[in-house]
Structure 1
């Protein structure tokens, strides 16, 4: 089975596995206590925090660990809005942000807040000028922008947005889930979020970094853990493993990034040549190295993924609908591109060229069979 869904979850990095097993022995105790085993756990937690902070461009005391990237975003969005409530109730976000950002924005609206959504072009990129104009309006308490889109890989204009946010005195929350460990984190952020399982760490560890001087108030009852930002007992072994994976992934990127980018470029070039009526989506140049998305006309995304699974490929789709909503991807809708028959290929570290060869060999026949079953020739 060829796993080609790293944008959902990167396979556990060997460095993470080794660190996790070692930390199970040394870091199982409560790091908030004063006895020896607890102090060892606290030392492991402190070192992991320092390692993550260094790679993300933060101070260790600005970094807190959460139970997921989604929780980090919810705390970052709602906590910053709560902390700046006296300044205003406006929030600005891009149309293609992760659903956790949009869901937090919807909760803010239900509480009487205002949300302005900046549209994107056909590549999925937010217009930097329009985003800057939106966050500069009076009463803006928070602006949110991802480093790169999780469905189509397009890089967002975070440096320009950060410059505009600093000029307007508005904190910028940057969702770095898809890029942390793969690309340098852009500066200028006030709040940063990330998720360990996206870079090869274990699931269940998120990162919330809040710059000193950023007004923030927890939307939860206060807890003494994690700088009073995140309630609950820290999973020290998982956090240690997450930090180890991030260090290893960042160290490998100089070699692995260009290799994956070349494989993705091959997919971008070959799929339209091999399969008729295909639209490759996202920016062809300013993009994540490991991710490519395309849509096949006259094909349902779910049927395509099922047949590819039978052929030995674990692949995701940006347009998979649920039985309850029957709604396609909000990202593809905002871009104004084809939403049906969508395939997102995201290459994990170590993927072989032969896996890509086999995928390109299998895909045309799979699409042809599905179209034929629908009477499309």
Structure 2
């Protein structure tokens, strides 16, 4: 799940014969091993350091599928030309990150655990998602009595860029429908995603900035 980081048990899904399984693996590809039990899979190259705007759709040969896009017979000009440079760059970037994925994932997992611990120590704060079966680089938590836009701004002022809600809807600053469906706290939600080269020093600084920012916002509201 690319909002809370929980790894879904795709390999355990038991569907009737002939029913295909489509997997949105945008947050997982390049960061963790994707279980082989799927019929069609979607991913996004910029998630693993590839070019922005390049998407990947993998369909197994045994899966019945009809191409919804313009034909590729060379006669349909509406289809345009294949983005060969983009595809090659996406593939090269994926090969590079997979080669060192285990080492990077282990380091990111430890760093995210540090953020989870710091967030959980804040009063009236809920860390969302499975603490173990999760993506190594992603963490989501919500702070009561703190507006999502306020905490994003305060952390940005301190030099840290985070999102409120999912990455797809952060600009709307609307409550996350994903968190609401999970029955989780939606107020003051933060989504933190680590880069491959994020250091321990940066995470320590972020945790301190988070504690100060939450205390400052609550203090302004007379809650500190």
TM-score, normalising length from structure 2? 0.91
Distance in 1, matches of 2:35 and 2:85, equals 28
Whether contact under 8 Å (1:321, 1:328) holds in the other structure is: no
Partner of 1:94: none
2:33 paired with 1:184: yes
2:165 paired with 1:318: yes
How many Å apart are 1:302 and its aligned residue? 1.0
Whether contact under 8 Å (2:24, 2:43) holds in the other structure is: yes
Runs of 5+ consecutive residues of structure 2 not aligned to the other structure? none
Distance in 2, matches of 1:181 and 1:322, equals 26
Partner of 1:208: 57
Runs of 5+ consecutive residues of structure 1 not aligned to the other structure? 1-148
Q: Secondary structure at the match of 1:314?
A: coil
Q: Residues 55-92 of structure 1: CA distance to partner in whole angstroms, max 9, x if unpaired? A: xxxxxxxxxxxxxxxxxxxxxxxxxxxxxxxxxxxxxx
Q: Secondary structure at the match of 2:12?
A: helix
Structure (1 or 2) with the greater helix fraction? 1
2:203 paired with 1:375: no
Distance in 1, matches of 2:53 and 2:171, equals 24
2:206 paired with 1:354: no
After TM superposition, list the pairs within 5 Å mapping 1:331-342 onto structure 2: 331-342=178-189
Q: Secondary structure at the match of 1:294?
A: strand
Partner of 1:130: none
Partner of 2:112: 264
Rg comparison, structure with higher value: 1
Q: Equivalent of 1:237, from 85, 106, 110?
A: 85
Distance in 1, matches of 2:105 and 2:170, equals 31
2:5 paired with 1:156: no
Distance in 1, matches of 2:70 and 2:88, equals 26
Distance in 1, matches of 2:142 and 2:188, equals 5
How many Å apart are 1:178 and its aligned residue? 0.7
How many Å apart are 1:297 and its aligned residue? 0.5
Partner of 1:219: 68
Q: Equivalent of 1:330, from 174, 177, 186?
A: 177
Distance in 1, matches of 2:107 and 2:203, equals 12
After TM superposition, list the pairs within 5 Å mapping 1:102-113 onto structure 2: none
Distance in 2, matches of 1:321 and 1:216, equals 33
Distance in 2, matches of 1:321 and 1:240, equals 30
Partner of 2:45: 196
Whether contact under 8 Å (1:317, 1:342) holds in the other structure is: yes
Q: Residues 142-164 of structure 1: CA distance to partner in whole angstroms, max 9, x if unpaired? A: xxxxxxx0111001010111xx1
Distance in 1, matches of 2:51 and 2:69, equals 25
Distance in 1, matches of 2:214 and 2:104, equals 30
How many Å apart are 1:327 and its aligned residue? 3.8
Whether contact under 8 Å (2:164, 2:170) holds in the other structure is: no
After TM superposition, list the pairs within 5 Å mapping 1:6-155 onto structure 2: 149-155=1-7
Q: Secondary structure at the match of 1:364?
A: helix
The alignment yields a C-alpha RMSD, in angstroms, of 2.0
How many Å apart are 1:322 and its aligned residue? 5.8
Distance in 2, matches of 1:216 and 1:238, equals 24
Distance in 2, matches of 1:239 and 1:215, equals 24
C-alpha change, 1:309 and 1:298, in structure 2 (3 Å) is same
The one of the two structures with greater contact order (alpha-carbon pairs below 8 A, sep at least 6) is 1
Distance in 2, matches of 1:284 and 1:155, equals 10
How many Å apart are 1:291 and its aligned residue? 0.9
